[in-house]
Structure 1
Amino acid sequence: MKSKTKFSKKLLPTLNGTGQGYFTQPTISNKQIIFVCENDLWQVPLEGGRAQRLTSSRSETHSPVYSPNGQWIACCTMEEGEHDVYLMESSGGPLQRLTWLNSVTHIVSWSHDGQYIWFRSTHQAVHSRGSDAWIFRVSINGGPVERLPYGPAMTVDLQVNGKKGVVLGRNTLSNSRWKRYRGGMAGEIWVDKNNSGNFKRLFRDLQGNPVSPFWLRERLWFVSDHEGVGNLFSCTPEGGRLRQETFQKEYYVRFPATDGKALIYHVGGELWTLDPEENSGPERETQIPIGWHSTKTRLQRRFFYGDEYWEETMIHPQGHEVALTARGKLFSMPFWEQAVRQHGIRDGVRYRMPCWLPNGKLAAISDAPLKKNKTKKLSAMEEQLDVFGSTPTEFPDCSHRLPPGRMQEIAVSPRFQHLALTTSRMELFLINAETGRISKLDDSKIREISDPVFSPDGRWLAYTKHLSLELTAIFLLDLKPSANGKRIKAKDPVQITQPVRYDFSPAFDPEGRWLYFLSSRIYNPIWDTVQTGTSFSRSMKPYLLTLKKDSPNPFEALPHAPGGQETGGTPAGDSSHETQDSNNSTTKQSKDSKKVALEIDLDGIAERIVEFPVSEGVYKQIIGLPNKVIFTEFPLSGALHDLEAEDNQDKDEGILWVYDFEKQEAETIAENVGIVQTSVPDESENSSRTMLYSSGDLLRALEAGVSVPEDTKTEKQHSRKSGWLDLRRIRISVQYQEEWAQMFQETWRLQKEFFWTEDLSGVDWKRVYQRYARLLPRIGSRSELSDLIWEMQGELGTSHAYEYGGDYPYSPRYPVGCLGADLVFDSKQKSWIFQKIYSGDIWKPNEHSPLAEPGVSVEEGERLLAVGGVPVDEHKTPGELLVHQAGQIVPLSVGQGTSKKKQVKGPKGQVSSVKNFEDDARQVLVKTLSGEQEVRYREWVRENIKTVDSLTGGRVGYLHIPDMSTHGIAEFHRGYLAQVDREGLIVDVRYNAGGMVSPLILEKLAHRHLGFDVPRWGTPESYPYHTLRGHLIVIANQFTGSDGDMFTTSFRQLQLGQLVGKRTWGGVIGIDGRYQLVDGTTTTQPQYSIWFHHAGWSVENHGVDPDIQVEDTPQSYINNEDPQLERTVKEMLRLLKEKPVLSVNYSPSPRRLLPE
């Protein structure tokens, strides 16, 4: 009779009073468990007890799997800088690296004999983001890796005890990050009962997301959430007699593992077990009592410098120091002298939007507790305005509540203690920083209000507001403040510009004469160079409004005598400047204008618009100075390799211009500029102002409006003369446990504020917070926090709730140099063969194999003999010798071989005779690639074009769109324009990763062919240009997502053609990625849900069903077939037969005879 494992009821004490760690990814062998916690491997008996740490990694170690005999542990880690397979003894010891691929994502399983490790990798992947990662295997002795032929998969498991069943899992890694997911990428379980290569998919109609399939004795087990919460289920190999095995109610079951005897799994940070021989029921599940002692090294305080993590800045009104936030902490820093001061609570709080008040106090938005040593209740988990004195203190002088929503932009009155705040709820408020009094000024029904700015006297507020989705205008509001600013009697807002497109970025002239703004209103077409089309990429210019009716155009200079002083555009008839000859002091004018309340003639103000005499371009900011104005312009450049930035405004590549009204000219004063600020001295100050601008990670402070000195921007030149600030003077201390708790709370708060429905689609979000916040004390590493955030956001049951980036433990990177080729080891001849060389785009640097370079010309079939003079063999692989060589010039020895033989010894000392390749070896120098995905993708597209061309006799074209972003729009036009004259076109959007350009592609495909432009000589051309006459078919699969979903459903709604393949991903609630947490993590909030006339809301969490369903079975990959492409070609040929695209039979040309 089988002995029963006994579990201790007493948990052993642990450090820090947390009770336990966050235990994940367990594996089991002979009643011994190894699991992951704090990025390391730990071991504990199945019955519980004290856990022992096995590794102390500087990087993240994950997905450990015991060997069948329990002697070894295979795992994935980055100890040498890249994700690869490592091996260690299960009792502990050094890690031995087995692969050099840069791309191992998970250890999957072992072969039954324990000689091979199976792992998942994007090695040799054609498509990005892991959508076509395959299963590979490697010997425990290292050496060549072998790709299993089943196609893209996440898991594979073999039956034991003489059984031959193979279960393959696709999309089956985890279902907890998008809970209750039902889209086209839901888990697929494929079973080959006899290991014959004939797979059958189970549970096609199961309304759930089955993941993590594995064999346990005669039954197949897996995790599914079709009953609501992810639990373990089991069935027969045919998919029959489905039975629930676990009954968790709150947290999903994750990471199940078995050694064929016991079964273990993760639930809510704990490890659980059950006896598979007992009858199914909740009572057989047992939590494993783990006594866990850890030094918690990843929670120990760390220190950083301000240049790494500064976020937002505001220059002091007097122009001598800056307030800024760095990693959520609040600092003030004199530019070059004296001490840096930190304000507010040191840890567990985020400060943002720092600003100086006119009285010298420092204000910031904060999520700090209102009282010392008090934790905020969930119902009060909002931000407030904290006001600090000049002396550093932990708690503010006062705190004020804020309007509803998230504060988005802030502006400070130069005279009163007033702050203008815009909110996420599209409202504009004024708050008195002394009294806390809040006044609502305006709201919008369309988009957020932006760009608030006060007039020099604090009376007026200008800002940008949407008139429609396509128009923004400048608005002006008279606040009518009392003499001390305690009260305001604001009038109704007045629209003061008539936009053609977008008017934005208002700014006041310090002397009260003009209001500047930027505007997109110039429709000067720029012709496209590859197709018939135009763009309006340089549509902006600076403009100004004259605030007085009698003020003339300031760009028209007044007449003056030869050799006399120029008037420089001083407005004739402007009474405020009649004394210029007697007192030619701009400073005095500026002072005098501040002492008098600014009066504005609102009647007809929109008509008093004047254009700056500068070229149109892309402008971002404009700021008024005494008798000058500065503005930033950004160059145009391609976006193909910069997916993060929509344009150069998102990078600090701007040009800073100054326009001098006295000289009547504009000049460049700085380059590589980002955001610019200037000080605003009160009337007691002189007119000299300071400007502060960002340039990458740097900040620079100089006199405003003056050309900056030449500088190399090195650290040694941080000085008053150069203007560069030494941000390393800012020293940041981080207590991770407090920081992570704040990040977790802010993530929850952002979803609460920005999720696209107010009730979060019915999810009890407070309950969700309480469920996962109780696990926070367990968290001991940054990756564990990420996992917890994903779990929490997954409860929304919605797409695009992401978390990525952040401060992870530093692991030096030593990437493997790539050759853009398939290298296969010839076991008979004991040498490495260049089986396939990927030419890619040979004219593009870094996008083709270096072996195809002119002068190198290595051919397929040749042998690689040595790398850097070191011979390669079965155990010394090319990848091992190319570590840390990415992007480097490397000498290779290659050869074809001769008829001569040589003797070699095998691993057991046996001698064999093999071909001698050294006789004709030659040396070549190649510059390795840092990755091969692009060159492999190009080859895949090229082969598909050849296939379609061959099967259709050149009548049908083919193109692939990898995403709906910059790469996708480029690939579409590359393929479309070259093949638009075909009788049909296949548009392949399989593996499309989404983006935002689907409307542009649909617009092109929807153009109707109306006729021809017929010349005397040459070929007639379609009218409209580049329109397709023939048939269209789109291919999609489960990896077609986001904007790819929107493209496919819109293609159907427009009735442009048929859709072939598989149901798409089903995620169409958009994001904008605006918000980062304090350590640089980006979290996204599903904000923009799409509704279609023909489909309503149904695409989200379902996908788009094809007209013709074509499964890509594992056996199709085994047979090297593409059934979806083949079926599409077949359908296209049918259409061409039934509805041929006939050649044009022009009617007789008109006759124009002369009259007789």
Structure 2
Amino acid sequence: MKQLLLSAVLLLLVQLSWAQDRILLRQPSLSPDGQELLFSYQGDIWRMKLPEGQPRRLTVHQAYDSKAIWSADGQQIAFQSDRDGNSNIYVMPAQGGRPKQLSYYSGNDQLLGWKDEQTLLFASRRAYIKIERSYGIYEIPVSGGQPQRILNSDAVDAQMSPNKEQLLLVRGSCRTAREDYRGPANRDLWTYNIKADKFEQITDFKGNDFNGQWVDRQRICYLSAQSGRYNIYLKDLIKGEEKALTQEKKMGILNFALSQDGQYIVYQQADRIFWGKTEGKKQEIKVDIASDYRFDPFIEKSYSHLDNYSLSPTAKRIAYEVHGDIFIGAQHKQLKEGRTLAQGPSRQRAPLFLNEQTLLYRSDEAGKYALYKVSSKDSTATDLYRSLKLKNSLIQEFPLDLSQYWLSPDRKQLAYLLGRGQLWVAQIDSLGQLSNNKKLLDGWASPTGLSWSPDSYWLAYSLEDLNFNEEIFIHAANDSIPPVNVSMHPRNDRNPVWSPDGSKLAFSSDRNNGDSDIWFIWLKKEDYLRQTTEWKALEIWAEEKKPSKKDKKEAIKVKIDFDQLYARSQQVTAMPGRESGICWSPDSKTIFYLSSSNSSRNFEKDRALYSVRWDGKENKALISASQTPYNLQLSEDGKLLFSQLNRGQLAYIQLSNKKLNNLSFRSNLKIDYAGELAQIFEEGWRALEAGFYDPQFHGYNWKQLKKTYRPLCLKASTKEDFQWMYNLMLGQLDASHMGLYGGDNPKKLARKKSGLLGVELWQDGKAGAKIRSVLEGSPASRAESQILANERIIAVNGEKIKPQDNLYAFLEGTASKPTLLAVKSEAGDIRELVIWPSPSLNKQRYEAWVKERKILTDKYSKGELGYIHIKAMGWSSFERFEQELMAAGDGKKGIVIDVRYNGGGWTTDYLMAVLSVRQHAYTVPRGAAKNLKKEHKAFSNYYPYSERLPLAAWTKGSIALCNESSYSNAEIFSHAYKNLGLGTLVGQPTFGAVISTGGYGLQDGSYVRMPFRAWYSKAKDENMERIPAMPDILVRLAPDYQAKQEDQQLQKAVEVLLKELNADKK
């Protein structure tokens, strides 16, 4: 309650400061005469007289309305909105009124501007953009009708010139948040002469140039980082002259807009808005808005899932975490209401029962994660579930974040992890007080999967070395014996778990065929030397001597023979896929574990719960993969095995009868919206401070960036604006693999999806939708539902398409459903057909692009070379690569390997293994040669690779293609291919974005990406982040290469490889 009151006070102070201070608005634009302002605030569109008018809200919707732009006559306003769950284009009267939706496509359409008073320009990823990380440029009438692509190139922005003769384009894929990026993927300005069908690049700065706008038919303004900060530049396209209109040095300009005649300009710098003459004096505009909350500042929500849980010693109580709060529930089907034990707006995590009366948890209430406890103040009800008087108190703060902790079986010691790699052990009493803190480890790597021995004397954990191989270590909790590597294997071993009798240490290992299997180590030599029959006899004798309930249970004392302990390992499971999540039965005879069938793809997709005897026998499924069990915990009495299912539901199995029982908890939260944004900012910032791969943060002051951007982020009136400003802060580090994404959003929107046919459309103002082209492999290309170019769809499910109708509006809700179309042929014949629209065309667009490259390779090489495109550096793409070595390379002299537009992954070393094979012998089977002595040389190129190697092999010639959209692991491949001398590298320099990355989850379900490991080129000792792979031969790809069915980079690669192969013959 204290936190909620404090948060309310803080919220009031923030509101008062907003009334006196600047608000954070977005995307200001000007009326045609430059005297009025449009902007987005609270996710709605506002209008204001300049310089000091009273803003008026034009749209009122839960959706995020943005990028409002006036028509040239000032009568209409276009904007984009996610009212249907994805961004679409709308238009409304300039005075306000009901908006009219113009686009309906299941994708995010981006409004660019007005082509003329009757037509809008927008960007969209539709059938034409096959693989490029950009957009197609489209136009659509404000009266309605079909969208039409107007450019045979990809781009991210396009503005029509005043004389309607040219388009001013922005091309390039680097995020504009990266103000200091200097590299091949930077954004540049181009012009496209419509009549001459000619593209011309007009800026060549190595950083980002963007937001180009016409001043008049000869001059443009645009944003550029050439001064070190984003400033506005004025450029004369005829004279080539250029000058800076602004000289900002502390913070760059985010966006700007011009009046219709180019005489007035408005621009945004952080939360400041400036307005004035384009080439004259500007003044800061004060925008005062007294508005109600867009959403309630305190949001009440009910959750049925849980994020994490802990069992009380009796397992009658279950503490769990939901959305950063701690709850307690009862292990009873009729008691469903969860009771709150600790709540935000700070984040409470990792509940752990110290005993039945006291629960430990960690919270960052004091600024970093510290150890807290909650207990009952009611002497008559010490049960935390029943008590109405709770006391939350701080146990201990630490110099670093408390990351994890583990309670010993005797509940007298606590192992805990501070920051990344400090492992400590302390004594803990029944009230939670710590003493005798002892540091066991202090390194860069985090010990994971820590497990206490049953006698509370030893710790076992897995730890990575600098080769990122994970090994199992045993460590005395009092540090009397240093850590001992007990797995000693070059493949990953992880998550050790002691058997309750102290005789075995089980763990998961990748050592057998790359699958993750269950293994264990015999801790004593005498146990390891026993034969299976001897163990069976011992089990029978133990049953015969079974003690009575009155006999005192003998305390476990773990004995370990460390000499060659790693050699006493035994495999338990050998299933294909990944086994993990180990739990032992109380008698140490059975292992419960999780298994998924394929370790190389999605580990979570088909995970099931199994049990198996320690000797690998009696392997049984307990929970099917359809329920996706995870996070196993065994009750202390060993009778109940708990697991989370699917999206967080809790269940348990009674091991006596293997019956599955579901538990249902209802947890009611009151979410402080403003407090949560502050929490997300702080925790995300703190996580990056501790985890960002470069401790010098690329030379930037991370603490100063916090001081600058925190107030700006907390001014955000929507979650979208908060993430936008937060990502601007991240962009100041000039690092790849960064971003804050996802999370809960209080808005509630329709989720409309249109079925996709795979067609491009002409816009001719007539009834129906005229087909421009058909994407191969799409529903419209199939024999049973084929539609041809220049035919016209005139009705969908019996509804006629009028001239002002958009085809995709009729296709909403049709994905994967039989849909009736009426189609008119060029000759005027009408036929009906049933088509099954697709929810996505990503695969078809990609395959069409690859097929075209194969055709071109065959054409350029006259059939002598094969072509393979690697879509991503993931397992499915690698398996396809192996198949394509035969499908595309069989009978060819060499292959072209293409990693352009490849977004990365992890499989470079697999590809290197395939391409680095060198033939050392050849074989001739019986029957292949009539005379072995005379004919054997004819078989010198043959070798039984498929039976001798774990991967495919390619020993013929190859050449590789990369470009500025080759990213991350695709760049590592490009560096390796060139530096290891595997062949010639052709194309354009890669993006320069190579960091190993993970993610850190935040309270609202959002996550901040976490670059954690640098990559250096072995050949040059250069950090591959911000230093691209440089091709041996540089070739640019024409903007309209796809429309002309050409590929200049591919053509050069074919030419070079054929020359190399012919030279080798000589």
Task: Pick the TM interval, shorter chain.
Answer: 0.7 to 0.9
Deviation at 1:737, TM superposition (A): 0.5
Q: Pick one of 351, 357, 361 that aligns with 2:358.
A: 361
1:1005 is aligned to 2:915 = yes
Q: Secondary structure at the match of 1:774?
A: helix
Query: In 1, Cα distance between the equivalents of 2:108 and 2:477?
Result: 61
**Preserved CA contact (<8 Å) 1:652 1:696:** no
Q: Pick one of 650, 653, 663 that aligns with 1:725.
A: 663
**Preserved CA contact (<8 Å) 1:232 1:253:** yes
Q: Pick one of 516, 521, 526 that aligns with 2:505.
A: 516
1:759 is aligned to 2:696 = yes
Deviation at 1:647, TM superposition (A): 3.8
Query: In 2, Cα distance between the equivalents of 1:812 and 1:403?
Result: 47
Query: In 2, Cα distance between the equivalents of 1:348 and 1:304?
Result: 14
Cα separation, partners in 2 of 1:48 and 1:154, compared to 1, 3 Å = farther
Q: Secondary structure at the match of 2:1029?
A: coil
Query: In 2, Cα distance between the equivalents of 1:963 and 1:1063?
Result: 18
Q: Secondary structure at the match of 1:879?
A: helix
Deviation at 1:751, TM superposition (A): 0.9
Q: Pick one of 778, 782, 790 that aligns with 2:715.
A: 778
Cα offsets for 1:963-1005 (capped at 9, x unmatched): 2224532443343322224123222222111111122223323
1:694 maps to 644
**Preserved CA contact (<8 Å) 1:1062 1:1105:** yes
Please give the TM-score of this superposition, normalised by the length of structure 2.
0.88
1:655 is aligned to 2:609 = yes
Q: Secondary structure at the match of 1:253?
A: coil
Query: In 2, Cα distance between the equivalents of 1:505 and 1:554?
Result: 27
**Preserved CA contact (<8 Å) 1:522 1:616:** no
2:91 maps to 87
Query: In 2, Cα distance between the equivalents of 1:101 and 1:116?
Result: 18
Superposed counterparts of 1:415-434, under 5 Å: 415-433=410-428, 434=432
Q: Across the two proteins, how many residue pairs are aligned to each other?
A: 1011
Which letter maps to 1:103?
Answer: G
Q: Secondary structure at the match of 2:89?
A: strand
Cα separation, partners in 2 of 1:62 and 1:491, compared to 1, 3 Å = same
Which region of structure 1 is more displaced relative to structure 2, 687-696 or 67-76?
Answer: 687-696
Cα offsets for 1:820-857 (capped at 9, x unmatched): 233445668x65454544343xxxxxxxx234556445
Cα separation, partners in 2 of 1:457 and 1:875, compared to 1, 3 Å = same
Which letter maps to 1:478?
Answer: A
Cα offsets for 1:1059-1082 (capped at 9, x unmatched): 322222111122022x11111112
1:383 maps to 369
Deviation at 1:702, TM superposition (A): 3.0
Deviation at 1:771, TM superposition (A): 0.3
**Preserved CA contact (<8 Å) 1:59 1:77:** yes
Which letter maps to 1:1111?
Answer: R
Deviation at 1:1094, TM superposition (A): 2.8
Deviation at 1:818, TM superposition (A): 1.0
Deviation at 1:896, TM superposition (A): 3.3
**Preserved CA contact (<8 Å) 1:821 1:834:** yes
**Preserved CA contact (<8 Å) 1:116 1:137:** yes
Q: Secondary structure at the match of 2:1011?
A: coil
Deviation at 1:816, TM superposition (A): 0.7
2:151 maps to 149
1:118 is aligned to 2:145 = no
1:810 maps to 748
Query: In 1, Cα distance between the equivalents of 2:612 and 2:173?
Result: 58
Cα separation, partners in 2 of 1:740 and 1:490, compared to 1, 3 Å = farther
Deviation at 1:444, TM superposition (A): 6.8
**Preserved CA contact (<8 Å) 1:817 1:930:** yes
Deviation at 1:467, TM superposition (A): 6.0
1:237 maps to 237
**Preserved CA contact (<8 Å) 1:816 1:885:** yes
Cα separation, partners in 2 of 1:225 and 1:854, compared to 1, 3 Å = closer
Query: In 2, Cα distance between the equivalents of 1:200 and 1:38?
Result: 40
Deviation at 1:1129, TM superposition (A): 3.4
Q: Pick one of 496, 499, 504 that aligns with 1:506.
A: 496
Query: In 2, Cα distance between the equivalents of 1:1105 and 1:599?
Result: 58
1:631 is aligned to 2:592 = yes
Query: In 1, Cα distance between the equivalents of 2:923 and 2:849?
Result: 35
Please give the TM-score of this superposition, normalised by the length of structure 1.
0.81
Query: In 2, Cα distance between the equivalents of 1:18 and 1:739?
Result: 23
**Preserved CA contact (<8 Å) 2:405 2:417:** yes
Q: Pick one of 540, 553, 562 that aligns with 2:517.
A: 540
Query: In 1, Cα distance between the equivalents of 2:902 and 2:896?
Result: 15
Q: Pick one of 623, 629, 641 that aligns with 1:670.
A: 623
Question: 5+ residue gaps in structure 2?
Answer: 1-13, 376-383, 930-937, 946-951
**Preserved CA contact (<8 Å) 2:211 2:223:** yes
2:379 maps to none
1:743 maps to 680
Deviation at 1:1135, TM superposition (A): 4.0
Cα offsets for 1:688-724 (capped at 9, x unmatched): 5332201112433435534543xxxxxxxxxxxx521
Which letter maps to 2:279?
Answer: E
Q: Pick one of 380, 400, 404 that aligns with 1:404.
A: 400
Q: Secondary structure at the match of 1:723?
A: strand
1:884 is aligned to 2:870 = no
1:928 is aligned to 2:837 = yes
1:1097 is aligned to 2:1022 = yes
Deviation at 1:603, TM superposition (A): 4.9
Superposed counterparts of 1:825-904, under 5 Å: 832-840=769-777, 849-853=778-782, 855-858=784-787, 862-896=791-825
Query: In 1, Cα distance between the equivalents of 2:264 and 2:510?
Result: 71
**Preserved CA contact (<8 Å) 1:202 1:239:** no
RMSD, aligned CA: 3.3
2:254 maps to 254
1:378 maps to none
Deviation at 1:182, TM superposition (A): 0.7
Question: 5+ residue gaps in structure 1?
Answer: 1-11, 279-283, 370-380, 481-488, 524-535, 560-566, 640-645, 682-686, 710-721, 841-848, 899-915, 1143-1156
1:620 maps to 580
Query: In 2, Cα distance between the equivalents of 1:166 and 1:837?
Result: 26
Which letter maps to 2:409?
Answer: P
Query: In 2, Cα distance between the equivalents of 1:85 and 1:115?
Result: 14
Query: In 2, Cα distance between the equivalents of 1:766 and 1:1043?
Result: 30
Deviation at 1:183, TM superposition (A): 1.6
Q: Secondary structure at the match of 2:392?
A: coil
Deviation at 1:556, TM superposition (A): 3.6
Q: Pick one of 1111, 1117, 1124 that aligns with 2:1036.
A: 1111
Which letter maps to 2:97?
Answer: G
Q: Pick one of 273, 277, 280 that aligns with 2:279.
A: 277
1:1068 maps to 994
Query: In 2, Cα distance between the equivalents of 1:223 and 1:148?
Result: 25
1:979 maps to 888
Cα separation, partners in 2 of 1:68 and 1:689, compared to 1, 3 Å = same
Superposed counterparts of 1:120-519, under 5 Å: 120-127=123-130, 131-160=133-162, 162=163, 164-171=165-172, 175=176, 177-192=177-192, 196-204=196-204, 206-217=205-216, 218-237=218-237, 240-259=240-259, 260-278=262-280, 284-308=281-305, 310-336=306-332, 339-344=337-342, 346-358=343-355, 360-369=357-366, 381-389=367-375, 390=384, 391=387, 396-402=392-398, 404=400, 407=403, 409-433=404-428, 434-437=432-435, 439-443=437-441, 447-466=445-464, 469=467, 471-479=469-477, 490-499=480-489, 501-510=491-500, 512-519=501-508
Cα separation, partners in 2 of 1:616 and 1:197, compared to 1, 3 Å = closer
Deviation at 1:786, TM superposition (A): 0.7
2:903 maps to 993
Cα separation, partners in 2 of 1:986 and 1:583, compared to 1, 3 Å = closer
Deviation at 1:1121, TM superposition (A): 3.9
Query: In 2, Cα distance between the equivalents of 1:1058 and 1:568?
Result: 66
Query: In 2, Cα distance between the equivalents of 1:1005 and 1:499?
Result: 26
